[in-house]
Each structure stands twice: as structure tokens, then as C-alpha cells.
A and B are shown apart, each in its own frame.
Chain A
Amino acid sequence: MEKLFEDFSLGLFVWQAVLFIALILLLRKFAWKPILDSVNDREEGIKNALDSAEKAKLEMENLQADNQKLIKEARAEREAMLKEAREIKNKMIEDAKDEAKETANKLIAQAQESIETEKKAAISELKSQVANLSIDIAEKVVREELSNKDKQVKLVESMLGEATLN
């Protein structure tokens, strides 16, 4: 211990103190601060880059998930549309059939009706012609009758024979 005190040199202590404190201050200004700042900046830059990469990755994943969802939705929609279309088609066919049937029925009914009307008209015309004919015949018969009794009879007979032929 005594030797320690004896070895102690005040001059060296003062020099060391002055030089060392000067060294700390100088290095702080010219070395440590710029070095640590640059390292910090670099580390922050790397961290930010990694963060944004991570974020981009997440976004990509989200996008992909979105895409998947969209595809799924589209598929579902297509299915739905196809189904609907099929239903519509069937319904249309069904409707068309119904309508066609109805129209056909109507047409048939109309046709029948018109046939009936035509028939009636034909019958009535026939009737009126028969009547006219009968009147003509009667007129001729009457005229014949008026001139020749035999001839009148003959005419009536031939007329009648004609009429039955008709």
C-alpha cells in the first residue's frame, strides 16, 4: 500500500485526466456521435424496409385472399345465374307451351265456331237457294201448267228428278 502511494505520480494523473477528458469530448464530437447516428439511421432504415416488406407481404396476402373471395363470389354468382337462366328457360318453355296450347284451343274453338257459322250460312244459303229454286220451279211449273198440263207434269217430274240429283 505504501508502495502504491509512493508510485502515485500527480503529474501523470493530471496529464491523464486532461488528455482523457479531452479525448472523450473530441471523440464525442468527431467520432461517437456521427458513428452512432449513422448506425442508428442505418438500423432504422433496415427496420423500416423490413416493416414495409412485411406490410407489402400482408397486403399481397390480403389481395390474394380478396381475389380468392372474388373468384368464389363470381363462381357462386355464375352458378346462381345459370340456375336462374335454367329456371327462366324452363318457365318460358312451360309458358310457351301453355300459351300455345291455349292459342291452339282458341284457334280450334274459333275454327269450330267459324265452321259452325259457315255451315249455318251454307245451310241458310242452301235453304234460300232451295227456296228460290223451288220458287223458280214453282214459277216454271205454274207457267207450264198454264200452257200444257202434261208438259207441266213432266217438267215438275224432271225438276224433281234434278232436285234429288242435286
Chain B
Amino acid sequence: MRRKISLKPITLLLFIVTFVTYSQEEHGHADSGSDKKSEVKAYIQHHLKDSYDFNLFSWTTDSGEEKHFGFSLPVILWDGGLKVFSSSKFHHGETVAEVDGNYYKNYHGKIYKTDAEGTINYDAEHHATNEKPLDFSITKNVTMIMMVFAIMFFMFSRMAKSYKKNNGMPKGMGRFLEPIVLYVRDEIAKPNIGEKYYKRYMSYLLTVFFFVWIVNLFGLTPIGMNVTNNIAVTLCLALITYIITTFSGNKNYWKHIFWMPGVPVPMKIILAPIELLGTIIKPFALMIRLYANITAGHVVLMSIIGMVFLFQNWLGSGLSFMLAFVLAILELLVAALQAYIFTVLSALYFGMAVEEHDHH
């Protein structure tokens, strides 16, 4: 009785019983290397993608049947009317879902409108050309965001209550969280924005710091889906930073963009578009930095975990495991670091927007 263990449970088990999975792989038959490599690659790509069901792990039985362990999530589509149905109708992309006479197929993680047979039409570059309905499904990422929403709200509202009950002192979790809140206030907001205006931005800075941090940490757990490796999420965060910066920009801020003081007139004309572009590039860099760091971290970590199965011997796999372990710890640091960087840079941009230049 042999089970071909797929990578997803491995990431789970890696944190619990590493050597059990080892020994199971040790007995693996002589799979061709390239086969395994492509499998690892496919899994990494799959892991980085959003999905319509919360799949904890899956395996293939002896008879070649795929088994999935997890739960389905609701799919919400807007296609000439609201269509809500369970993602179990897709059967993990294997079947066509029929809702109100329309047919939808989950093809490579995206929902396309198809005919009853689920035909996908391709263009010359093998891209699906089927119509895509507007998709507001509660995907795995959205579920994670909701979970983090609930956790944060629970944690911090409890912390706030403990102050009232305990005569201005935090209790329980608050004892741990308060220094971090104070760190954000004293080391991030105050120095970058200034004593005068920092209070306005505290809500956003604290929320974004804890949100990114917690989401990143969840991404490192085997059950978690990493939310911040979706460009849509980081775009949303960066966009909020951009909007807040733009709306809190004072006269000086705009003057420095459109008519830079202290330089000759031709330079002013050249600088204006550059500065204007700069205001967009800054949040754009925020978006890419967070996205790329988390995605890259996951690709590297998972590749090295994948190497454990490619080596198929104690020495190579052992070393890969050690490396993966060290990298996982590094990723813990990166999770906090990226949250910190995002918050600091946001604070810095807000600071630029409200700065008062008396010396000009």
C-alpha cells in the first residue's frame, strides 16, 4: 500500500512530523527526475494561486483517483444577474457548473463561461478566449482576509477593553501587543510624520502593519494561503496609501511637485512631470515590493522543500531540509520586516505630504 504524497500535505507535515514524510518518500519508486521536477513546479505555481475551495491537502490513491480534503467556498458571479453557488459544483475544475441555464468552468484558476460541454476556445497563444463573468467569489484568499479581519478585530477590541477594566493597563494579550503598538507610534509614525499630524494616520498605520504581518505569518503556516502574494491585495494597500498621501498633501507638497523651489525655471519644467510620476511610482514600488518579497520567499522556500523529494537520499534531502528550516525562519523575519517596511514607507509618504518647509 503506497501513497504518492503530494507536496501540500508535506508542507503541513514538515512542521509536525518531518521524518515520517521522509521515510515514506524514501521508499518511493524510481520516478524519473524531470517528472518530479515538473510536479514540484506545478505545485508551487498552484500554491501561489488563489482557489475557489479551501483545500487543506489532497492525495492520489492507488487507483489514480484524486482525493481532496478541505471545504468548498461560495462562488459569487455577476453575469447579467447575481449568481451564487458552491464551488463544489466545479469538482476541482473537473466538471462544468450549471447555474440558471448558464455554464461555467474553472479553468486554470479562473472562471469562464462555456457551453454545456465546457468547451474552452483558445487564441493563437493558447489563451482562453471565453467570456469571463465578473467574479466576486469568496475565494481562499478572501476567506483568509476575513479570518484575519476577525482575528484582528477580536484581539484589538479585547485589548482595548482590558485597558478600561484594568485601570489603564493592558492585560493578557495586550501586554504583548502594547509594545508593538507603541513601537508603531513612537518609531514609525512620530519620526516620519511629525509630532503634530501623526495622530490622524495612526489608525491606518497600525491596521496595515498588523494586517500585513498577520497575513504574512498565516502564509507561512501550512494551512494558510498567502494573501500578500496577490497583486490585487498589495495594489489595494498601496492605493490606500496613495489616496491618503494625495488627499493630505498640503500646499508645500504640491509646490514641490509642480514648481520645485530653489531650481532654475527650465529645471522646474523638467522636474514637474518627473515628480508627478514619482508620486505614483512610490506606491507602485510599495505594491511590487510586498508582492515580490512574499512571492519570492514562498517560491524559494517551496523549491527547497521540493528538493527534499528530488534528492531522494538522506544526505541531500537532509541538507535541503536544513536549508528549508533556516529559510522558514528567515521568512518569519521577512514577514515582520515587510510589514514594517510597508508601514514605515507609508508613514514617510504621509510625512512628506504634511511636511512644512519653513526653511525655503
Q: Are A15 and B136 within 8 A (Cβ)? A: yes
In B40-56, the 8 Å CB interface with A consists of: 49-50
User: 1/0 per residue A126-142: CB within 8 Å of B?
Assistant: 00000000000000000
Binding-face segment, A25-33, A69-77, A98-106, A152-160: A25-33
Q: Which of B199, B233, B239 has the most chain A CB atoms inside 10 A of its CB?
A: B233
- Shortest Cβ distance from residue A36 to the other chain B in the assembled complex, whole angstroms: 6
- Shortest Cβ distance from residue A30 to the other chain B in the assembled complex, whole angstroms: 4
User: 1/0 per residue B206-244: CB within 8 Å of A?
Assistant: 110001000000000000000100111101110110000
A20 to B156, CA, bound (A): 15
Q: Are A35 and B168 within 8 A (Cβ)? A: no
**Interface bracket on A:** 20 to 34
Q: Are A27 and B156 within 8 A (Cβ)? A: yes
Q: Are A9 and B163 within 8 A (Cβ)? A: no
Binding-face segment, A37-45, A55-63, A88-96, A116-124: A37-45
Known: A27-B203, A27-B206. A8 touches B168 (CB 8 A): no
Identify whether the interface residues of B are mostly helix, strand, loop, or mixed.
Answer: helix
A23 to B227, CA, bound (A): 16
A15 to B146, CA, bound (A): 9
B137 is an interface residue with CB less than 8 A from chain A: yes
B142 is an interface residue with CB less than 8 A from chain A: yes
Binding-face segment, B13-21, B178-186, B301-309: B178-186
Q: In the complex, which residues of chain B have a beta carbon less than 8 angstroms from the beta carbon of A19?
A: 142, 145-146, 149
A4 is an interface residue with CB less than 8 A from chain B: yes
Q: In the complex, which residues of chain A have a beta carbon less than 8 angstroms from the beta carbon of B281?
A: none
User: 1/0 per residue B164-190: CB within 8 Å of A?
Assistant: 100011000010001001100100000
- Shortest Cβ distance from residue A26 to the other chain B in the assembled complex, whole angstroms: 6
Q: Which of B136, B159, B203 has the most chain A CB atoms inside 10 A of its CB?
A: B203
Q: In the complex, which residues of chain B have a beta carbon less than 8 angstroms from the beta carbon of A17?
A: 236, 239-240
- Shortest Cβ distance from residue B17 to the other chain A in the assembled complex, whole angstroms: 33
Q: In the complex, which residues of chain B have a beta carbon less than 8 angstroms from the beta carbon of A10?
A: 134-135, 232
Smallest CB-CB separation from B145: which chain A residue? A19
Smallest CB-CB separation from B185: which chain A residue? A36
A165 is an interface residue with CB less than 8 A from chain B: no
B106 is an interface residue with CB less than 8 A from chain A: no
A4 to B76, CA, bound (A): 23
Q: Are A30 and B153 within 8 A (Cβ)? A: yes
B341 is an interface residue with CB less than 8 A from chain A: no
Q: Are A30 and B236 within 8 A (Cβ)? A: no
Contact of A8 among B138, B141, B160, B232 (CB under 8 A): B232
Q: Are B153 and A23 within 8 A (Cβ)? A: yes
Q: In the complex, which residues of chain B have a beta carbon less than 8 angstroms from the beta carbon of A34?
A: 160-161, 163-164
B157 is an interface residue with CB less than 8 A from chain A: yes
CB-defined A-B contacts under 8 Å, sample of 13: A7-B49, A8-B232, A9-B50, A20-B145, A20-B236, A24-B207, A27-B206, A30-B153, A31-B159, A32-B203, A32-B207, A38-B163, A39-B163
B contact set with A: CB distance below 8 Å: 49-50, 76, 134-139, 141-142, 145-146, 149, 152-153, 156-157, 159-161, 163-164, 168-169, 174, 178, 181-182, 185, 199, 202-204, 206-207, 211, 227, 230-233, 235-237, 239-240
| A-B CB proximity, top 10 nearest | A31-B156, A38-B163, A13-B232, A28-B203, A34-B160, A12-B232, A16-B236, A30-B157, A11-B136, A11-B135
